[in-house]
Structure 1
């Protein structure tokens, strides 16, 4: 590795909201951490604080977010996508290589943070006054980063220049990759086991790491490693290594461990719990709720503590700008200022509200997501709690008064539906080619309706339901459009208590012996039961007190398999950045994502086209970034051997 001097990862606080001032995590910006800094209590505290802050450079970073979703069954590229997005789709728009794979966004950040953790762990014992629980936070983050790296790239270096898992203080230009089993058994598992032992049940600070969080990651790491050992579809690994465990355990042992640890975490939740409804999990005013185990934090109260300007987003980390990517340019929608003669006027204006936000049109859902993943839009609240499907007039917030006119020259007022993405194909065909009512985006019309419409089979790379769950939430709009051009001041959720149910269910499907009342179907039904509870109709913009839990549970298959768990994971975590890792872990990527339907990128494109992808086995690992290869003082042959096969 080159240059492991530790960059000050950030000048902003990681935990910002608390019921007690004493529970805030304070952070002071530094341009560099000198080695001696870690030999002090202040240095250890600063190093640990930077570990929370480094999360902002990964989560909410849109180009890394893109690599987690584009090219899966969840997401394809949208009309304004550049090559950062198109190449990840693996559909003939470019070839992923070491120079364009945006997985580079995590390589340097993770290794810098790992070395910070090495410094904290190594020096804390010598200081003698640092608690084991504080050291455990560093152990968690070291394991967290190594787990992210090994899933993404395969085996990665444990020696950053001073020995395996040692704090390195000098620049080095050589690097040797460890094998996947070595990364798991030498780094990830031991650190997480020790973290579980020493971490508190409740966080030291608001949003701080806990036993429940460490258990979730240990269970997930065991589950992932069990799949790796089993290797059902003969996906290659690198560096080449036998699919055997140094500790002598087989895949089944790891699946059982994953199940047992996840169940233990469910039964011993500490302060954490599932929210009452799916809507509550992602609704902006309920951020940092007790279902969220870890998040990369932001705030609207201070640009310093937000780590980004509060009025205009930079489009780069540490801003939280991932939510822009699946926000299409709804501001192009037009209504009429007059009746009987169409006179175009903007009726849905850019606004800092969760259902709107800043549009970039870089990523979009496939038709299969709308039609198949979220097929049940009546009982299941998760489609409504994931997407914006109704775009409502807000011209009054931009000092335009009075009514406007929309389809059929019917009057519309602020708050009325201007454009609706229908839940299903209408009986009466949509007229997309009318020449009287100009939506300006090629939307269609239906008799008797004032709103423009697009059906599920009409969504395109240009016009599609937006991603409500990641939209901005601010309390300082004061009846105006607010600051829609800023990066999101919401936290980016990383880990949720709900995932423990999915991990345990997946392990059960893989053969783990289950406890009474906690089979795979039982566990999935906890999530589905909650999904059937409504308290708000998001796209109807009205209270909806309805309980469809019984219907949800009754329609769960008697035998739950991996594909069903993956479908449920997509319904629960759509657009949150889980998908590529889920498909790679289970080796289902090619099976589930090799083709998709979408309409074209031009105005008026509403004819679905089937697109095929060529997902080759080598793509299950991302390439080592070109910047890393260029920085190493190694021969071309050594660099070729360092790179993952298929990318040379």
Structure 2
């Protein structure tokens, strides 16, 4: 019998969220609770409460600071920044750290968060019919059981389907042994069957705001088919664990699953339900527009209550406070507060989307700006992703100085740019007059200090505007920039159906749309501007035709990955994308960036040593320590290489 240590399948000390049963309600309401017991699921209230917990538990992963590192550091999107520690060095494989089973949150957060949710989902599925719960609600539990198993199998390889009481059964056992199923078994016994039922039984429209629907399940079923197809194909011979042949139990080929992925994604595109693309990429991440029609799944937060914000302090919060604070963007925000001009602290922490709390743990390497986002004039996605200018806000901090003397002896006022990153390389930038703490240089005729994007360093670089802070509970001043974010953290968007179908088409699937057709829907939208974020002014411009014309006639996987990075940069998808396609080594084995000094504008090349076994994360040591096994069996349970 396959069993798993009870620590990871109980829900002790987590919050129970009680789901309002009436379809007329449009929100999820939460009530703290210590743990779930088998008896609790034997009531309608208990089943509904467990269901809402599955949504709440998303906050334990998405928006969590160190999952940001798990999913982004070591890729071609992010590298350790000036204030990094081993939560970041361990994942960079550049010699400053070493990824081990003891590496803490960066190896254990997915494991410890997913298994309680899986067990809760199993408890709901087993008891829902007996208490008269509708099939559509049971389908939500099936979606989440598949969702968490999908995340686990991508992170660790094969994982247990039996948590102690039988495969896919609610565990009531405290026996501390465990056997890992193979990757193929996890997909064919758990993920795919649950998602097929979810597609069939979920409603077209959201039961409550943020709830999963038929089309959410279609997206994840398409992604599961696609990822499993790649696993079966194994183009670069990456090892799997537990060791098994790359064969499907039903005898289907990788091509079969690529076609299934394409068909399911296209079905989602052709039957959108309540979802649609935003007209402008800028609006996808404009904080005042959160929870819009493109968002299919997100880890939600609120500024109305600390309790209902996952326990995260709304005024001052650490990255691990509460049960899932949204502090991910802190990690990728450089310390812009060191910008002092004319003895004035010109740019101060502010609870606004371009500012927030700077932790300077992760920085984008140079190629992000010179290759991934090379097209900055036609394509709005660079402007709608990054903070490209830090503007003066000393007045909001109480300093009444009307203007200060900045670059070239010119005066700037509050709201004017203090430091800007140049879209196009300018060899005339003179960094010798930057004032030291800014790191910016001067070019004639500009009052702001400037930095070429191919001369950034680990200390000062463009922040991630798309995930930035947003609060409505202050009308003046700097607000509360040190509290955990109260925005939803994006997990899945309607746009991804197009890129999943396009990737499947690249892998040989066929149908009514070509890969180029599908990619061009996304690129056409990227060409439309309504606001210039860097210049902070209206910009009504439609470059859709030029964007589509620039798309290659033949799309390959590298191009799909580049488009995915432009769409989902910094959203905790990149490591999983590179691992799925086995392109991690090829696209991220080295990077270029300056050092830790703000005035260092001489980027150096860093080489990573990404080994085949790194394509799986280690099983966390805490799990192994609590298993009643011999040391030899524990060693066999662990992924090889760790």
Length-normalised TM-score, structure 2: 0.97
Matched, 1:375 2:370: no
Contact 2:17 2:52 in 1 (8 A): no
1:646 Cα deviation (Å)? 0.5
Distance 1:610 1:10 in 2: 45
Q: 2:209 aligns with which of 200, 206, 211?
A: 206
Matched, 1:290 2:287: no
Secondary structure class of the residue paired with 1:227: helix
What does 1:573-592 correspond to in 2, within 5 Å? 573-592=568-587
Matched, 1:331 2:337: yes
Matched, 1:22 2:22: no
1:10 Cα deviation (Å)? 2.5
What does 1:292-331 correspond to in 2, within 5 Å? 292-307=295-310, 308-316=312-320, 317-331=323-337
Distance 2:188 2:41 in 1: 26
Q: 1:442 aligns with which of 422, 439, 443?
A: 439
* Gapped regions of structure 2 (runs ≥ 5): none
Distance 1:192 1:8 in 2: 29
Contact 2:18 2:45 in 1 (8 A): no
Secondary structure class of the residue paired with 1:64: helix
Q: What per-residue deviation string (whole Å, max 9, x for no partner) do you get for residues 494-537 of structure 1?
A: 0000000000000000001221xx10000000000000000000
Secondary structure class of the residue paired with 1:396: coil
Distance 1:310 1:609 in 2: 39
Distance 1:442 1:196 in 2: 52
* 2:10 alignment partner in structure 1: 5
Contact 2:349 2:478 in 1 (8 A): yes
Q: 1:622 aligns with which of 611, 617, 625?
A: 617
* 1:341 alignment partner in structure 2: none
Contact 1:38 1:120 in 2 (8 A): yes
Contact 1:12 1:304 in 2 (8 A): no
Distance 1:14 1:533 in 2: 40
Distance 1:11 1:190 in 2: 27
* 1:420 alignment partner in structure 2: 420
* 2:602 alignment partner in structure 1: 607
Matched, 1:118 2:122: yes
Q: 1:277 aligns with which of 280, 287, 309?
A: 280
What does 1:381-420 correspond to in 2, within 5 Å? 381-401=380-400, 402-420=402-420
1:11 Cα deviation (Å)? 5.4
* 1:59 alignment partner in structure 2: 62
Matched, 1:452 2:454: no
* 1:106 alignment partner in structure 2: 110
Q: What per-residue deviation string (whole Å, max 9, x for no partner) do you get for residues 168-190 of structure 1?
A: 11322100000001000000011
Contact 1:5 1:169 in 2 (8 A): no
* 2:47 alignment partner in structure 1: 44
Distance 1:209 1:14 in 2: 14
* 1:355 alignment partner in structure 2: 354
Secondary structure class of the residue paired with 2:129: helix
Secondary structure class of the residue paired with 1:454: strand
1:108 Cα deviation (Å)? 1.3
User: Compared with structure 1, are the counterparts of its residues 119 and 13 closer, same or farther at alpha carbon in structure 2 (3 Å cutoff)?
Assistant: closer
* Gapped regions of structure 1 (runs ≥ 5): 337-343
* 2:431 alignment partner in structure 1: 432
User: Compared with structure 1, are the counterparts of its residues 21 and 306 closer, same or farther at alpha carbon in structure 2 (3 Å cutoff)?
Assistant: farther
Q: 1:467 aligns with which of 456, 459, 464?
A: 464
1:603 Cα deviation (Å)? 3.1
What does 1:61-140 correspond to in 2, within 5 Å? 61-100=64-103, 102-127=106-131, 129-140=132-143
1:610 Cα deviation (Å)? 0.6
1:14 Cα deviation (Å)? 9.2
Distance 1:374 1:534 in 2: 16
User: Compared with structure 1, are the counterparts of its residues 441 and 499 closer, same or farther at alpha carbon in structure 2 (3 Å cutoff)?
Assistant: same
Distance 1:70 1:301 in 2: 32
1:256 Cα deviation (Å)? 0.4
What does 1:517-556 correspond to in 2, within 5 Å? 518-556=513-551
Contact 1:439 1:452 in 2 (8 A): no
Contact 2:457 2:598 in 1 (8 A): no
Contact 1:5 1:170 in 2 (8 A): no
Contact 1:5 1:171 in 2 (8 A): no
Contact 2:436 2:598 in 1 (8 A): no
Contact 2:71 2:573 in 1 (8 A): yes
Distance 1:10 1:530 in 2: 40
1:431 Cα deviation (Å)? 1.6
The alignment yields a C-alpha RMSD, in angstroms, of 1.4
Paired positions, count? 631
Secondary structure class of the residue paired with 2:30: coil
Secondary structure class of the residue paired with 1:22: coil
Secondary structure class of the residue paired with 2:50: helix
Distance 2:495 2:436 in 1: 41
Q: What per-residue deviation string (whole Å, max 9, x for no partner) do you get for residues 380-419 of structure 1?
A: 0000000001000001111111111111221110000100
Q: What per-residue deviation string (whole Å, max 9, x for no partner) do you get for residues 399-449 of structure 1?
A: 111111111221110000100011121142x22122xx5251322122221
* 1:173 alignment partner in structure 2: 176
* 1:340 alignment partner in structure 2: none
